[in-house]
Structure 1
Amino acid sequence: MRTVGVEEELLLVDAESGRPRSVAARTLRYAAEASDPAEGGVDADAAPAAPDDVPGGSIDHELQKHQVETDTVPHTDMTALGESVREWRSNAITAARRAGARVIAAGTSPLPVASSIVEKPRYLQMVEHFGLTTSEALTGGCHVHVSVESDDEGIAVLDRIRGWLPVLLALSANSPFWHGDDTKYASFRSQAMGRWPTAGPPEAFGTAQAYHELVDTMIASGAILDQGMIYFDARLSHHYPTVEVRVADVCADAADTVLIAALSRGLVDTAAREWRAGVDPLPLSVAMLRLITWQAGRFGIEGELVDPRTVTPHPARDVVAALVEHVREALRENGDEEFVDAQVEEIFARGNGAMRQRATLEKTGQLSDVVAELARITAGLEG
């Protein structure tokens, strides 16, 4: 069974105003103290650090001082993955509280924020090279790593999942606000990410050699700094033997995060099976994929999505159902079928993150209340 690990980019916000606070350094220091016996013992509520030979299991910096990133160790069981996601969120929340902040899982900040870049050489180089794109890059994504046997299998998978990735974006959409304004998008993060030169849907590569040659050519062009700036919606990880699905917004509800992870593994399993059976990828151009992804980011699960098999619009519920049916055999084999069916129904019953944020604003009229509700949901405290 394939392993799955999750990275979540989380925002640090003021406990009173809800505005982002640049306290990442202090938050990380307190998190390290909580897990270091030499600094007073291990916090019983903190997730243990991963062994040195196991990837993941940490909290670290992100580009902005208002943000931290957590990552889990790889899991084969979705219940265990969900527990790990919640444990690392709890660890971040506990450390942030000591730094005078709360933690929210949101694709963008609902309230305005001024740039505060972490002063690492690479990040400062990004500011110099990309200007405002870097300065305004305060977004929260959910990145799912699914194990693959080889780069050849990984590229075969990337070529066959690309049409379904917008559905994951629609389900996870959790960034309707930008600098205090309603953007009219369910995922404005997906628009903000589009500023980067490599972001968005990847082309079909055909072979691992073609993929690596393109990456090398992109870096050699001087337009990007390194492999870490390959921001395709899904890519081969340059650290681990995984396909990294990067299209999703970070989800406020940890159960939604696990849903995206389970569907991502289902897509990888299904694509690998198709490859071995000689089934060709869907014949989708990058131009059409950009359109399908835009539609998903604009409307989320409200209105219509574009079915990648027919390139025609259908109610979002129908396209989500088509994705689930596409991967159902893999979900059943992995023991994820019942959870996925139930969680999809849950999302359509109460809305995705963007819908819940807007519902809170409609109820209270205050974006600070939206942030407070996000903090409660992130911590698993909603009713």
Structure 2
Amino acid sequence: MRTFGIEEEFIFLKPSTLQPANVGDDVHAELRGRSPVSRFVSHEFLASQIERSTPVFDRFEQASADLLAFRSRLARAALRRGVLAAGVGAPFQTEGWPEVTNVERYHTVETEFRGLVPDHLINGLHVHVGIPSREAGVQALNRVRVWLPTLLALAVNSPFWHGADTGFSSWRSVHMRRWSTIGCPPIFADAADYDRRIRRLVGVGGTYDLRTIWWNARLAEDHPTVEIRVCDAQLDAPSTLLLAALTRAAVTTALRDGETDVAPIDIAPELLDAGLWHAAREGMESTLLNPVSGALESASAVTAALQHYAGDAIDEVGNRDRIEALLARSRRLGTGAERQRAAIRAGGQPALAALLAQALTAHD
């Protein structure tokens, strides 16, 4: 049973305008000081953000309880400051040059990436899955990379920018495409090839250390994990759990295929990259690239193909019923992008603010 962990990024918003509120330092200090549930809280790039990393889990019941406990504490901390804490890929509204968290590393990022900073008001969900070795991790990356557009389509949650609908379901993903290392990682021969190539990137295009290699899937440098980074931050804990469950199953399957020399799915890199862009625009509302056939198919068919690919891993940990229930919930409620758009249509910014507040602590 592969262990897993989850990183969630949250942004604080002013309820009346849904613009970022720079209370990250204050909330960080409170949460770190009061509960072991919150001991993995850290600063993020901007003063309006925080990041929270979970403990290492082997069962989803653990993850569910942990995510809900932290989100409840986060909601109360935000309420005490008259702001909303939101799990969104990008805020509805922005204003001017954002305040960067006063940490040396983040000021270096600001210096290196310059005019991209005002648009980096984005929040992601990262899922880590334990690996037995760096070599096994590279072989898993070679095989799981083709499913990144599918995971993104399920995770889209950033349709708005500057108060307008972008026409994309994950505008966060569009912003990320402008950074120097992003998108699906290439195929690597082995761990030595991976390490040699990532080290050659350091110093080029703002990549000033290995942690600034921002592929949508990579090996974590500080933990023995494959890190899947393609997803937008999620409105609620059940949505996060669905993505974590599918990610763990897909990575587990990829690890096994690597051990038995099952060849990676053969797909042209330009087609895979276009499939990622297509998923960012369409989400689950239209077609997706099926990496098995190399063709556009209905989003439901491609999701089923992912479930089939990872089916043995899903069944072995007894998650079939849970995943089916969470997928049914997602179909009923819609993706985060669909739910945000529905709120705006129904009642404008006040309705969206209400959705963000309610969803943060929703458990069903």
Aligning the two structures, in what range does the TM-score lie when normalised by the shorter sequence? over 0.9
- Residue aligned with 2:271, SS: helix
| Root mean square deviation of aligned Cα | 1.5
Counterpart amino acid of 1:209?
A: A
2:86 paired residue number: 104
What is the alpha-carbon distance in structure 2 between the residues aligned to residue 259 and residue 230 of structure 1? 26
- Is this contact kept in 1: 2:203–2:209, CA < 8 A? no
- Is this contact kept in 2: 1:108–1:139, CA < 8 A? yes
Q: Which runs of 5+ in 1 are unaligned?
A: 36-46, 50-56
1:305 paired residue number: 288
- Is this contact kept in 1: 2:180–2:205, CA < 8 A? no
Deviation, 1:60, is 1.2
1:127 paired residue number: 110
2:32 paired residue number: 32
**Cα deviations by residue, 1:55-111 (Å, 9 ceiling, x for unpaired):** xx5111100111111111011111211111112222222222233322110000012
> Is the counterpart of residue 48 in structure 1 residue 30 in structure 2?
no
> Is the counterpart of residue 94 in structure 1 residue 83 in structure 2?
no
Match of 1:290 among 273, 278, 283: 273
- Is this contact kept in 1: 2:17–2:93, CA < 8 A? no
1:370 paired residue number: 352
What is the alpha-carbon distance in structure 2 between the residues aligned to residue 310 and residue 258 of structure 1? 28
- Is this contact kept in 2: 1:70–1:89, CA < 8 A? no
What is the alpha-carbon distance in structure 2 between the residues aligned to residue 89 and residue 214 of structure 1? 38
What is the alpha-carbon distance in structure 2 between the residues aligned to residue 258 and residue 18 of structure 1? 26
- Is this contact kept in 2: 1:117–1:135, CA < 8 A? no
What is the alpha-carbon distance in structure 2 between the residues aligned to residue 326 and residue 341 of structure 1? 15
2:217 paired residue number: 234
1:18 paired residue number: 18
1:159-308 correspondence to structure 2 within 5 Å:
159-221=142-204, 223-308=206-291
Deviation, 1:178, is 0.9
Counterpart amino acid of 1:24?
A: G
> Is the counterpart of residue 147 in structure 1 residue 130 in structure 2?
yes
Deviation, 1:367, is 2.6
Counterpart amino acid of 2:359?
A: I
What is the alpha-carbon distance in structure 1 between the residues aligned to residue 205 and residue 175 of structure 2? 22
**Cα deviations by residue, 1:3-55 (Å, 9 ceiling, x for unpaired):** 110000001012343321011111112213433xxxxxxxxxxx535xxxxxx
What is the alpha-carbon distance in structure 2 between the residues aligned to residue 227 and residue 300 of structure 1? 30
Counterpart amino acid of 2:11?
A: L
- Is this contact kept in 1: 2:37–2:66, CA < 8 A? no
1:40 paired residue number: none
Q: Which runs of 5+ in 2 are unaligned?
A: none
What is the alpha-carbon distance in structure 2 between the residues aligned to residue 190 and residue 32 of structure 1? 30
Deviation, 1:239, is 0.7
Counterpart amino acid of 1:22?
A: N
1:5 paired residue number: 5
Counterpart amino acid of 1:48?
A: V
Deviation, 1:246, is 0.3
Deviation, 1:268, is 1.1
What is the alpha-carbon distance in structure 1 between the residues aligned to residue 199 and residue 74 of structure 2? 36
Deviation, 1:380, is 1.4
- Is this contact kept in 1: 2:46–2:99, CA < 8 A? yes
- Residue aligned with 1:153, SS: helix
TM-score normalized with structure 1 length: 0.91
